Amino acid sequence: MSTRLSPSEDFPEDLAALELPEVEVLNSKIHRELDYEYVHDGEPALETEIRQEELAEELNRREQQPQSAAVRSDVVRPLLRSS
């Protein structure tokens, strides 16, 4: 099992249909792919950037829903980047 999701690999069309843990795992894989692309290519692939934006929008949407489960800080906090 890969810890990254390359642009050539399948990505769900409807993130809203996934359970929160599945979205969090995808988010983690995309962030790892972004890190890999910056190190190896000097810049991220457009597809990876688009996927990251879609995941961020989905996670934000779920946070705004009162009935949604909170995003686990132990999963999200390690993914936050400091500038």
Residue 10 and residue 75: Cα distance in Å, rounded?
Answer: 23
pTM for the predicted model, two decimal places: 0.76
pLDDT of residue 83: 42
Residue 70's pLDDT is: 55
* Per-residue pLDDT tens digits for 36-60: 999 999 999 999 999 999 999 999 9
Q: Show me where the domains of the chain are located.
A: 29-64
Q: Nearest to residue 28, comparing CAs of 10, 52, 12, 9?
A: 52
